[in-house]
C-alpha cells in the first residue's frame, strides 16, 4: 500500500525556470512567460497544454511555476494551477500564501481555472488571478472543465481576489488547439 505521493516538474523546466527569475515588469511579460511554459509542456510531451505561475505582486518576482502533469503523474489533481500553488506554498513554508509574510501573490494561468482549481484558489491565499485562454477554448478542444458557477469571477471578487481575464487569450488558445490537433490526450 502506498503511503504518499509526489508531483515532480519535468527535467526540462530547470533551465526554463532559471530564465524566469525576473523580476517581470508587466502583466503581459508574466503571461507570455506562462504561455511559453505551456507550449514547451506540449512540445516536450510532458503534459497537457496548461501552465501557471505564482508571482510576488509588488516585486514581480517568480515564486513558483507549474505545468499540467495529469497524464505523466497519473494524478487527476496535477493541474498547472495546483502544482504552482503547492510549490509556492512549500517554498514560502505557508499553507496559505501571505498568511505570515503579509505579501500579496498573483496566480497567472494560461487558461481559466477548471472546477477543481477554482475551488483551491480561495484557500491558497492568492490575491489576484490573471487568466489567458477561456474555459470555452479548453472545452472546444475537448477538455472537461467540470461544473462551475456562471458567476465564478464575482465569487472570487467577493472573497477579495481580483480577477483579470483574456490577457493574451489568442496566444494561449492556440497552444490548446495545437495540443488537440496533434492528437494530445484529452481528459
Query: Within 10 Å of residue 111's Cβ, how many Cβ atoms?
Result: 32
What does 94-128 look like in DSSP terms, one character per residue? -SSTTTTT---EEEEEEE---HHHHHHHHHHT--E
Separation of alpha carbons 177 and 173, rounded Å = 6
Query: For 172, which DSSP code?
Result: H
182 is catalytic: no
Q: Which of 58, 59, 47 is nearest to 84 (CA)?
A: 47
Q: Which of 59, 64, 40, 62 is nearest to 50 (CA)?
A: 40
Q: Which of 56, 81, 106, 135 is catalytic?
A: 81
Helices then strands, counting H and E runs in the chain, come out as: 8, 5
Which residues are annotated as catalytic?
Answer: 81
Amino acid at each position: 500500500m502506498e503511503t504518499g505521493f509526489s508531483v515532480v516538474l519535468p527535467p526540462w523546466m530547470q533551465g526554463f525556470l532559471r530564465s524566469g527569475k525576473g523580476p517581470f515588469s508587466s502583466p503581459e511579460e508574466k503571461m507570455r512567460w506562462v504561455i511559453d511554459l505551456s507550449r514547451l509542456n506540449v512540445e516536450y510531451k510532458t503534459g497537457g497544454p496548461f501552465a501557471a505561475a505564482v508571482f510576488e505582486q509588488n516585486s514581480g518576482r517568480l515564486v513558483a511555476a507549474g505545468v499540467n502533469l495529469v497524464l505523466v503523474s497519473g494524478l487527476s489533481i496535477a493541474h498547472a494551477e495546483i502544482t504552482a500553488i503547492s510549490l509556492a506554498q512549500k517554498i514560502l513554508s505557508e499553507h496559505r500564501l501571505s498568511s505570515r509574510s503579509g505579501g500579496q501573490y498573483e496566480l497567472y494561468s494560461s487558461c481559466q481555472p477548471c472546477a477543481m482549481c477554482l475551488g483551491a484558489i480561495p484557500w491558497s491565499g492568492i490575491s489576484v488571478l490573471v487568466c489567458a485562454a477561456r474555459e470555452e477554448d479548453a472545452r472546444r478542444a475537448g477538455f472537461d472543465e467540470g461544473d462551475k458557477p456562471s458567476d465564478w469571477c464575482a465569487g472570487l471578487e467577493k472573497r477579495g481576489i481580483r480577477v483579470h481575464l483574456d490577457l493574451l487569450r489568442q496566444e494561449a488558445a492556440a497552444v490548446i488547439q495545437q495540443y488537440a490537433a496533434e492528437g494530445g490526450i484529452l481528459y
